[in-house]
Structure 1
Amino acid sequence: MDHFEANVAVHAEVDAAIDFGAECPVEERARRPLIASVRRFQLGESGDGQQLLRNAERAGDPEYVRAIGLFVAEEQQHAALLLRLLAYLGGTPMSSHWSDAVFVRLRRVLGLRTELMVLSVAEAVALSYYGGLSAAGPDPVTRAVAARIVDDEQAHVRFQRDRLHIGFADSPAPLRLLALALWWVVAVGATAVVALDHRGVLDAIGYRPTRFVRDVLIDFAGLSAAVLLRRKSTSWT
């Protein structure tokens, strides 16, 4: 929770330095796929987090509920930044997309653990997506927005990892292995969908979809092993 609270001032300073008022220099052949891609990620970031907050409250840990509230606020900041990036690029937001609807339904299948597992898959995907844009985005504003978000997502993955590790700590080995297998199915499927659905922007920044898939799954392998295969406790700061 200390991390989220300390981030408030940092975010304000970083966001103020992004020049959304500048003239956009991105050429049309790169701008079109970038707009299409950012629209979908902006929709995914724009949830209100109420289901997650309700599930967190059922866990009976007030400090965790407070941390989840701050986490949701950061995700909503991402949505606002992506909305400003869309306006800068000359695009408009979308109100719905089938992949977002599937993702939301998966998150709500069971309780808090399931929601965090699905959410952490999205964040593992986001690490590579925003990492690619921050390194090779077509202009300074896009790179700055992506770098700002990827910094948050790195902390978010650790936050979800540590909570999930606690949640599965007392689960028997067969249950953990089953959860691991199902989690991998979701991760591989989600990564493949994003690689195909966002291929235009990945190609535009020179990020081969096969490399993108590899990068996401390498990150996910470390995350899933830390949650379900390692008995040593972890702590998030």
Structure 2
Amino acid sequence: MLNKESEGYEAWVRDFEAERERRAATGDPEWERGAALDPALVRSLQRFQVGEDGDGSALIGKADRAGDPHYARAVRLFVAEERNHARMLALLLAAGGAATLEGHWSDAVFVRLRRLLGLRVELLVLMVAEVVALRYYRAVRDGAPDPLTAEVAGRILADEERHVPFHCRRLREALAPLPAPGRRAATLAWQGLLAGAGAVVAVDHGPALRHLAVTRRAFARDVLRSSGPLAGAIRGAGPAAGLREAARV
């Protein structure tokens, strides 16, 4: 088992590389099966596909400037996994007879926020999107009646459950120099941003969530509930070892 806390980012590089090899050995889902996609779910998946389809150049550049070559390598492997998510969602939509979108306002807002300042702010905003994605892909995996859709969502969810602890660790290191009140203020602000994002997604994707048997209220509540353990771990007030479990809340 990889000890990512004691070994540094070399262990994360090995984790990402092992996942890449496992993914190559497993191969893609059987796209030729086709997908029966509800129109509301099509619109929802199209928006999430846009969010996954960035080149990650800004994050990679900031990771390079952070001075740890192992972290920079791990970030590149993370970006590759996100782009693979975009690829799979595009193929899923195609299997259901739907196209992808050129862009969406929600993605544009997140990109602007992420690029405002340095790596710390980039990761805090990115973590908002990652935590919302956890609940979304769990809803699709568990609620989609179409087998191909459920399989794709399950694959993406498994990656996101690894990504959240990765980013949490870096954020914990980034916030460590701040005094305790400063760390608490930063994580409280992050929780507030996450609560707002969860509410916006719940409203914007309401018809798809209803198709998946998840109410808007339950979605927003679950996103907010997951923020407490993660915020504690980010500011060093919670056990780092429980991050993977917190990602599954």
TM-score class normalised by the smaller sequence: over 0.9
Which shifted more, 7-16 or 161-170?
7-16
Residue 6 (1) aligns with residue 13 (2): no
State the distance in 2 between where 1:99 and 1:25 align: 26
Q: Secondary structure at the match of 2:33?
A: coil
Contact between 1:162 and 1:235, CA under 8 Å: does it hold in 2?
no
State the distance in 2 between where 1:193 and 1:37 align: 13
Residue 157 (1) aligns with residue 168 (2): no
Identity %: 44
Which residue number corresponds to residue 31 of structure 2?
Answer: 20
| Cα root mean square deviation, aligned | 1.8
Shift of 1:59: 0.7
Structure 2, unaligned runs of 5 or more: 1-12, 245-249
Amino acid at match of 1:24: A
Shift of 1:13: 3.9
In the TM superposition, what are the counterparts of 1:1-237 in structure 2 within 5 Å? 1-16=13-28, 18-26=29-37, 31-230=38-237
State the distance in 2 between where 1:151 and 1:66 align: 21
Shift of 1:235: 9.9
Amino acid at match of 2:164: V
Shift of 1:129: 0.4
State the distance in 2 between where 1:176 and 1:77 align: 33
- Gap change, CA 1:37 and 1:228, over 3 Å in 2: same
State the distance in 2 between where 1:169 and 1:231 align: 13
State the distance in 2 between where 1:80 and 1:192 align: 27
Shift of 1:186: 1.1
Amino acid at match of 2:208: V
Shift of 1:231: 7.0
Amino acid at match of 1:21: E
State the distance in 2 between where 1:15 and 1:191 align: 32
State the distance in 1 between where 2:76 and 2:46 align: 24
Runs of 4+ with >4 A deviation: 231-237
Q: Secondary structure at the match of 1:21?
A: helix
Contact between 2:53 and 2:82, CA under 8 Å: does it hold in 1?
yes
Which shifted more, 77-86 or 92-101?
92-101
Structure 1, unaligned runs of 5 or more: none
State the distance in 2 between where 1:69 and 1:181 align: 29
Shift of 1:23: 3.6
Q: Deviations over 1:77-98 (max 9, x none)?
A: 0000000011011111111211
Which shifted more, 150-159 or 174-183?
174-183
Contact between 1:121 and 1:220, CA under 8 Å: does it hold in 2?
no
- Gap change, CA 1:223 and 1:232, over 3 Å in 2: closer
Which shifted more, 223-232 or 134-143?
223-232
Shift of 1:170: 1.9
Which of structures 1 and 2 has the larger relative contact order (alpha carbons within 8 angstroms, sep 6+)?
1
